[in-house]
């Protein structure tokens, strides 16, 4: 796949603010309050239906607008559905199940040995075995765990529970994207992600989604979970 070079005139992620407030054991920012938080203990086998979904109340003011402007600059047409804030897959699907296509859940992980960060974006009903995924990524079984909220705020400018691949335009090359092949090869007309808030769901074509991701300088690691992760 060809790399798409980001237009230098595109909207940029707002500069990161200085951490100023200790809140709930995590450092927050006055203008970028984190999403409602549920502390995670990384399970060895993650199952979507009962777990937290990658939502998030709000990002920094203007961040959603910056995302929307970037999409316009890339010539990407996206549709957005507003809904109440959601915090689980079940809550999310109750509001968006009428939207046909591939819906997502996202895991923000850290390799505890090499200190690398991974955003794992999979279909909303996908079961992910973290040990098997770690082996596939070459980081060793048992080395993947959920990253803390400080890391999420620093790398993606959203709090834990807010992870979305649409936040990759805020990353400076520190996060690697692992993408479920089902988004690209599942025959979906649209794929859906939160646009920096869990109070809305944004849909765009798989081709446009990949175009956006590559414009951020990220080359996704596409995984066939049904075949590659055994």
Q: Is residue 124 part of a domain?
A: yes
Mean pLDDT calculated for residue range 171-180: 96
Beta bridge partners of 191: 102, 204
Q: Is residue 86 part of a domain?
A: yes
Q: How confident is the model at residue 29 (pLDDT cuts 50, 70, 90)?
A: very low
Q: What are phi and psi of 167, to 5 degrees?
A: -85, 0
Q: Is residue 71 part of a domain?
A: yes
Give pLDDT, residue 86.
Answer: 83
pLDDT at 31 over 70: no
Mean pLDDT calculated for residue range 145-157: 90
What residues contact 169, with CB distance under 8 A and at least 6 apart? Answer: 12, 13, 66, 67, 70, 212, 215, 216
The residue with greater pLDDT, 144 or 86, is: 144
Q: Is residue 38 part of a domain?
A: no
Q: Is residue 115 part of a domain?
A: yes
Give pLDDT, residue 134.
Answer: 94
Helical packing angle, 63-73 and 206-215, nearest 10°:
110
pLDDT digits (tens, 9 = 90+) for 114-127: 889 999 999 999 99
Give pLDDT, residue 194.
Answer: 92
Query: Can you tell me which residue has the tokens 């790398």?
Result: 155
Q: What pTM value is reported for the model?
A: 0.75
Q: Is residue 210 part of a domain?
A: yes
Domain that holds residue 118: 51-228
Query: Can you tell me which residue has the tokens 């025959």?
Result: 187
Q: How confident is the model at residue 222 (pLDDT cuts 50, 70, 90)?
A: very high
Q: Is residue 19 part of a domain?
A: no
Please give the tally of structural domains in the chain: 1
Report the CATH number that the domain containing residue 66 is assigned in CATH.
3.90.960.10
Q: Is residue 80 part of a domain?
A: yes
Identify the CA nearest to 203 among candidates 178, 9, 177, 212. Answer: 212
């Amino acid at each position: 796949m060809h790399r798409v070079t980001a237009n230098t005139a595109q909207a940029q992620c707002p500069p990161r603010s200085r951490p100023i407030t200790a809140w709930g054991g995590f450092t927050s920012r006055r203008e970028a309050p984190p999403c409602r938080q549920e502390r995670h203990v990384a399970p060895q086998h993650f199952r979507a239906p009962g777990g937290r979904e990658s939502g998030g109340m709000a990002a920094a003011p203007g961040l959603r607008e910056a995302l929307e402007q970037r999409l316009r600059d890339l010539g990407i047409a996206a549709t957005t559905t507003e809904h109440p804030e959601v915090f689980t897959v079940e809550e999310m699907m109750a509001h968006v199940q009428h939207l046909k296509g591939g819906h997502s859940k996202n895991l923000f992980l850290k390799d505890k040995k090499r200190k690398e960060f991974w955003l794992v974006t999979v279909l909303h009903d996908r079961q992910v075995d973290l040990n098997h995924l770690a082996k596939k990524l070459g980081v060793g079984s048992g080395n993947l765990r959920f990253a803390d909220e400080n890391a999420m705020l620093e790398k993606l400018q959203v709090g834990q529970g807010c992870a979305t691949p649409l936040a990759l335009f805020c990353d400076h090359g520190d996060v690697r994207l692992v993408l479920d092949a089902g988004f690209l090869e599942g025959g979906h007309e649209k794929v859906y992600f939160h646009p920096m808030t869990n109070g809305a769901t944004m849909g765009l074509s798989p081709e446009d989604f990949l175009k956006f991701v590559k414009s951020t300088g990220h080359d996704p690691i596409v995984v066939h979970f049904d075949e590659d992760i055994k």
